[in-house]
Amino acid sequence: MHPDNNQDNTPSSSDHSDGFMNTKVSRRDFLKRSAVVGTGAAALVAAMSPLRLLKDTLTAEEFVQKHYKEMSSEELDRVLKRIERKVKERYGVDAEVKDIKPMDGVEYVYALNLSRCNGSRRCVHACVNENNQSRSPEIQYISVFKMPKGTFDMEQGTRDYNPETVPEDDSFYLPVQCFQCEEPPCTKACPVEATWQEKDGITVIDYDWCIGCRYCEAACPYWARRFNFAEPNIPKERINPSMSYLSNRPRPKGVVEKCHFCLHRTREGKLPACLEACPTGARIFGNILDPDSEVSYVLKNKRVFVLKEEAGTLPRFFYFFDK
């Protein structure tokens, strides 16, 4: 019964030392063994058969693509052209994919007036539309929480409210998105430096470098990061053709994404999409290094606070009330 029993006791020294290879095999045994090997291989191939459904197979060029920071400008240009081509193939849209660098002397800060926010969620959908986010499965960077008046306990808030009209008398609304922290725990977590903070304060992700381990998602105290659990699905007519490498180009399956303060707009001097759609003007954005900017005014003249200050993340997103 035991595997060692059979011939252990009678090691026949008369055999060649490489007796294994010379063991006589009967025809029947041979057939038997081939059958096992054959069907085993068949089972292996069959087990891997779902791979035939794999669309968008990885090219060698994509496989060896370097980290964003290590690409030369020619290499980056080639990558940008490739992304444009892929967008054209998949969505039939002529997109322009740019690489926009941070501006000197600029550090972005966002401020949000909780007295004004009426919970209309226009920012949420403006963001989705601007940033080519997947619609099904749904990915949204901004979460608007309806909070009962009289508490700041997030557990009592909900994103799932849908009254006839907003605001409701017993509630206030708290939009949350990536706060572009000065001490981001997410970039610390990333094992491959696929996410980092740029000099204008925006924490970006190289979607072509991310390995999809989701450690950053666990490390974020603000639940700001989203993972592409499936291939993103965007209606063709809703593609925003003005794209950039580090922000709103369509993301592949299996990588993490998040709010980037619309860097393809803001680095060209424009306001972010969520702000432009806010019906109440609750959102204020600008350069904190400019003492005359709107955000500087808010920090100087309003009583501001940040979420979870105790986490030590130093968010660049300030809330305030003005009545």
Partner 1 sequence: MAVVFLVLAISFIVDIWGEPPKRVIHPTVDQANFSQKPARTPALNPIYVKDGYSYRCNDCHSVLEPSDVQKSYISAHPDVILEHGANNYCTTCHSPDNRERLLDINGYDVAFDQSHKSCLQCHGPIYRDWEAGVHGRMNDYWDTERGPTRKLTCVECHNPHQPKFPDMQPSPAPNINNYISFLNQLMTSEESHASR
Partner 2 sequence: MFRWLRDYLYFLWRCFILSFNGTPMFYGWMTVLTCLTLIGLNAYCKQLVHGLMMTGMTDHVSWGLYIANFTYLVGMAAAAVMLVIPVYVYKNKDLKDVVIFGELFAIVAIIMCLLFVLVDLGRPDRFWHLIPIIGKFNWPISMLSWDVVVLNIYLLLNMHICGYLLYMRYLGRKPSAWLYTPFVFISIVWAVSIHTVTAFLLAGMASRPFWNTAIMGPRFIASAFAAGPAVIVLTIQVIRKAFNYHISDDAIFMLRRIIQVALLISIFLFGNEVFKEFYTGSLHNASAKYLFFGLHGHAKLVPWIWAALAMNTIGLILLMLPLSKTLWKLNVACALLVVGIWIEKGMGLIIPGFIPSPLGEVVEYTPTLNEILVCVGIISFGLLLYTILLRLATPILKGKFHINLKYTDKMQS
Site for partner 2 in 244-263 (CB under 8 A): 252-256
| Partner from partner 1, partner 2, none contacting 254, C-beta within 5 to 8 A by type | partner 2
Q: How far apart are CA 76 and CA 99, in angstroms?
A: 8
Nearest approach, Cβ of residue 312 and partner 1 (Å): 27
Alpha-carbon span 191 to 216, nearest angstrom: 9
State the Cα–Cα distance between residues 264 and 248, nearest whole angstrom.
8
Measure the CA–CA gap between 306 and 276, rounded to whole angstroms.
22
Q: Is 155 in the site for partner 1 (CB under 8 A)?
A: no
Smallest distance, partner 1 to C-beta of residue 103, A: 8
Site string for partner 1, 100-119 (x = CB under 8 A): -----------x-x----xx
Residue 214 binds which entry of partner 2, partner 1, none, CB below 5-8 Å type-dependent: partner 2
Binding characters for partner 2, 99-138, by CB under 8 A (x = yes): --------------------------------------x-
Pick from 19, 29, 46, 223 the residue near partner 1 by CB under 8 A.
46
Interaction partner, residue 275 (partner 1, partner 2, none; CB < 5-8 Å by kind): partner 1
DSSP-derived pairing of the beta strands 283-287 and 203-205: unpaired
Q: What are phi and psi of 223, to 5 degrees?
A: 50, 50
- Among partner 1, partner 2, none, residue 191 binds (CB under 5-8 Å by kind): partner 2
Return d(Cα 109, Cα 297) in angstroms, integer: 12
Our finding on whether 273 is near partner 1 (CB under 8 A) is: yes
Burial grade of 109 (CB within 10 A; 0-12, 13-18, 19 or more):
buried
Residue type, 207: Y
> Both tokens of residue 260?
């980037």
**From the CB of 103, what's the least distance to partner 2, in Å?**
26
CB of 294 to partner 2, least distance (A): 27
**CA separation for the pair 288, 308 (Å, rounded):** 21
Cα–Cα separations (whole angstroms), residue 52 to 40, 106, 230, 268: 19, 49, 17, 43
Distance (Å, whole) CA 313 – CA 181: 6
Q: Which is nearer to partner 2, 180 or 228 (CB)?
A: 228
Q: Is 60 in the site for partner 2 (CB under 8 A)?
A: no
Q: Does residue 122 bind partner 1 (CB under 8 A)?
A: yes
Q: Does 165 bind partner 2 (CB under 8 A)?
A: no
CA-to-CA distance for 208 and 228, rounded, in angstroms?
Answer: 13
How far is the C-alpha of 205 from the C-alpha of 260, rounded, in Å?
Answer: 9
Phi, psi of 285 (to 5 degrees): -135, 145
Size of the site for partner 2 (CB under 8 A): 88
Residues that bind partner 1 (CB under 8 A): 32, 35-36, 38-40, 42-43, 45-47, 49-50, 111, 113, 118-122, 124-126, 128-129, 135-138, 140, 143, 159-167, 229-230, 233, 235, 238, 266, 268-271, 273, 275-281, 283-287, 293-294, 297-298, 301-302, 322
